[in-house]
Amino acid sequence: MSVAAPNWRERASVIRPDGRAWIDGRPVNAASGATFEDCSAIDGRAITAVAAGDAADVDVAVAAARRAFESGDWSRAPLRERKRVLRRFAELVAQQRDELALLETLDVGKPIRESLAVDVPGAARCIEWFAETVDKQYGEIAPTDPGSIALITREPLGVVGAVVPWNYPLIISAWKIAPALAAGNSVVLKPAEQSPLTALVLARLATEAGLPDGVLNVVPGFGPTAGAALGRHLDVDKIAFTGSGEVGRHFLAYAGESNMKSVSLECGGKSPQVIFADAPDLDAAAACVALGIFYNQGETCNAGSRLLVDHRIADDFTAAVAREGEALQLGDPLDPTTAVGALVDRDQFERVSRYVQLGITEGAHVVSGGARVREDLGGYYFAPTVLAGATNAMRVAREEIFGPVLVSIPFSDEAEAVALANDSEFGLAAGVWTADLRRAHRVAAALRVGTVWVNTFDASDVTTPFGGMKRSGFGRDRSVHALEEYSQLKTTWLDLH
């Protein structure tokens, strides 16, 4: 029996998401009663009214989180039980795939096929994986002198504030809440104002899975109100943030001005793709480089946005990447064959347009794209864009555009390639393309970035840490190392005499 493929347009027209905040195990309006209109990136149409949380709501959520933490219902629950609830949570996320994927696509404008194949399963797998870590973490015994025994154990921090961006709302929320909950913390999650809907569903599903009330709260709202209130809160023990460098700096300042809460930051990048002429398959590399920048409309922290390419092959390779970009099907995100969807909103469109104009003013030229397309769809669709004739000194090569714009820069030898790649204030990720194993290791070791991909790009798994060096931030999402971000060490010293 064949099941008809879902008609996503039809489903989108009838879905009525709940925009209320989720505090202490139930949906609530903002204390002020204020709401904001959540509009779809696809066509700008209003999806629903969402609670505009502010400092008062953050206070209520943090108090609920603290109460839950102190009760021990989660923080001191038997580990088997914590694991069981988180596993169930992961199952529910996977089961709600269609609803979550549709809401993600409506909010963000990303293709439904990616929301279905990547975002929802990625979030479910992340939660499941961290569930499995719950009863597999051991403490240590320090090598002190005989006559004493010193235990080194890990404890949860308490109340964690997670503040996330709009480009991968589900996945990045899961990267933060899964290890935070696995470690026994309570969480207050503040989704981006552009994309609050899937976070609210996550909270509902967590409660359905058996997470005690107050352990996971979601307060939608704006950065300078709800976000800042969380950052400045005296009873929040940690902020886990992903977003812009500018806001990352705010969180460091908030922590300094309030209770010195710990902070981890992932603040984007300007990731280089370093293409040596001996790359094993230049055609395959060009296709991968195109996806590395145009996937998710270029709205990806680790997007490979700087193409550094051996000058002998620079023109041909850049042209090949441009062709690959043009071949990607751009259009209605609800069409399952669409590969490139809409930019998240008008602000983002204006930012991308400004940068393309700036690149031209700086002396680069447009090889492909460079303009808004498909105005008939109602949202902001931007053609995959390649700029060539650029130098690494140009602002388009130095600043994060966060859109489908690749800047191509030639290099003459390995030393120059490494120098250019490292000549950036960011250090999130890089790609290196070469068939020479020794060169691959040499260059990977020389790059000051959190992740180096060799002959691939954006391969990602919950088992590997993700995060940056330099102004891309500090701290890591994913892998057992993420648990270190959500726990603290305690030494218990026993005298045996």
Q: Is 324 a catalytic residue?
A: no
Q: Which of the following is catalytic: 104, 114, 193, 266?
A: 266
Q: Which of the following is catalytic: 104, 301, 324, 400?
A: 301
Dihedral sign, CA of 402, 406, 409, 411? positive
Q: Of residues 82, 110, 190, 476, which one binds ligand ADP by CB under 6 A?
A: 190
- Total residues at interface with ligand ADP (CB under 6 A): 16
Whose Cβ is closer to ligand ADP: residue 212's or residue 427's?
A: 427
Contact between 468 and ligand ADP per CB under 6 A: no
Whose Cβ is closer to ligand ADP: residue 52's or residue 308's?
A: 52
Whose Cβ is closer to ligand ADP: residue 222's or residue 474's?
A: 222
Return d(Cα 94, Cα 99) in angstroms, integer. Answer: 10
Whose Cβ is closer to ligand ADP: residue 153's or residue 244's?
A: 244
User: Nearest CA to 169 among 62, 265, 30, 296?
Assistant: 296
- List Cα–Cα distances, 194 to 10, 197, 251, 263, 341, in angstroms: 22, 9, 20, 23, 16
66 phi and psi angles, rounded to 5 deg: -65, -45
CB of 223 to ligand ADP, least distance (A): 2
Piece in contact with ligand ADP (CB under 6 A), picked from 187-195, 211-219, 314-322, 451-459: 187-195
* 390 token code pair: 């650029």
Q: By rule CB under 6 A, what string of x and - marks binding of each residue 221-260 to ligand ADP? A: -xxx--xx--x-----------xx--x--x----------
CB of 190 to ligand ADP, least distance (A): 6
CB of 257 to ligand ADP, least distance (A): 12
Return d(Cα 382, Cα 359) in angstroms, integer. Answer: 16
Q: Which residue has the tokens 């609670």?
A: 51
With beta carbons less than 8 A apart as the criterion, state whether 51 and 226 touch: no
Contact between 193 and ligand ADP per CB under 6 A: yes
How many helices (H) and strands (E) the chain has is answered by: 17, 24
Q: Which residues face 37 on adjacent strands?
A: 49
Whose Cβ is closer to ligand ADP: residue 166's or residue 453's?
A: 166
Q: Is 104 a catalytic residue?
A: no
Q: Which residues face 409 on adjacent strands?
A: 308
DSSP state of 135: T
Contact between 298 and ligand ADP per CB under 6 A: no
Decide the pairing of beta strands 306-310 and 405-411: parallel
Whose Cβ is closer to ligand ADP: residue 228's or residue 409's?
A: 228
DSSP state of 211: P
83: Cβ–Cβ under 8 A, 6 or more apart, which residues?
131, 132, 134, 135
Residues of span 147-176 touching ligand ADP by CB under 6 A: 163-165
CB of 101 to ligand ADP, least distance (A): 21
Query: Which amino acids are annotated catalytic?
Result: 266, 301
Residues at the contact surface with ligand ADP, assessed by CB under 6 A: 163-165, 190, 192-193, 222-224, 227-228, 231, 243-244, 247, 250
